[in-house]
Structure 1
Amino acid sequence: MNLALWIAAGLLAAVALTGGITKTFAPREKLAAVHGGGWTGEAGTAFVKTLGVLEILAAAGLVLTAALGIAPVLVPVTAVCWILLMIGAMITHGRRGEFAFAALNLVYLAVAVFIAWGRFGPESFTG
């Protein structure tokens, strides 16, 4: 189970890092032109860039804190924060009729639930 949790955290961290780098460094207008990124055209630049930075931090919180042994409790805490972020993403995509993206966010949410459950519970780093 520990290996499955590490793999899940690594995959979710890769998703978070990819999305975070894109939102942080790509121009908002370019993001808005991409399929599924239309919401960025309706959001402020600072908001989009802030989400990007938070996603980069989430990537670090999901993997690096445990791998380096620095506050590994941040792994399940980050997973819970990711769950909240994915709820917001699902609502946003759902309102825009982008149900395929909402479903993808639901998959990411489920992975984060698995990580939070596993790292707060049976495979806790403190136990």
Structure 2
Amino acid sequence: MNVLLWVLQIVLGAAFLLAGLMKVSQPTEKLAKNMTWVNRYSTGTVRFVGTTEILGGLGLILPWATGIATILTPLAAVGIALIMVLAIVDHVRAKEYPMIGINVILGAIAVVIAIGRF
């Protein structure tokens, strides 16, 4: 079980780290080409989402890997699951139903990590 959790943590952590870096470093006009939700929010909100994704990605890996403040790993997983719930709500409001599937999958992975590491 530990190996499975590590694989999930690394994959999900890397995905959120990269997604967050993209949101904080690229202009919103460029992001809007692939992410329609960016047009519905201010640049500051998009940067905030990116920052939370970076912190969540780091939180999935670093605390457990270092053995320092390991409680932060399942808390980061809960935070990522919450981000995915909010993303689902946003996509439902915008009637972007095909986009919900990926949020459900990522959220479910985060819940598995949270349960496994608590």
- TM-score, normalization by structure 2: 0.95
2:90 pairs, out of 79, 89, 92, with: 92
2:113 to 107, 112, 115: 115
Quick one: distance in 2 between partners of 1:104 and 1:31? 18
Matching residue of 2:8: 8
Shift of 1:32: 1.1
Q: Could you tell me which residue of structure 2 aligns to residue 32 of structure 1?
A: 32
Structure 1 gaps of 5+ residues are 121-127
- Whose helix fraction is larger, Structure 1's or Structure 2's? 2
Paired AA for residue 7 in structure 2: I
Instruction: Report 1:58-77 matches (<5 A).
Output: 58-77=56-75
In 2, Cα distance between the equivalents of 1:68 and 1:119?
14
1:37-77 superposed Cα distances (whole Å, 9 cap, x missing partner):
11111200011001111111111100011111221111101
- Bigger shift: residues 95-104 or 70-79: 95-104
Alpha-carbon deviation of 1:111? 0.3
Q: Does 1:48 align with 2:63?
A: no
Q: What code does the residue aligned with 1:106 have?
A: V
After TM superposition, what 4+ stretches of structure 1 lie above 4 angstroms from structure 2? none
- TM-score for both structures, normalised by structure 1: 0.89
SS state at 1:71 partner:
coil
Q: What is the alpha-carbon distance in structure 2 between the residues aligned to residue 22 and residue 9 of structure 1?
A: 20
Across the aligned residues of Structure 1 and Structure 2, the Cα RMSD in angstroms comes to 1.0
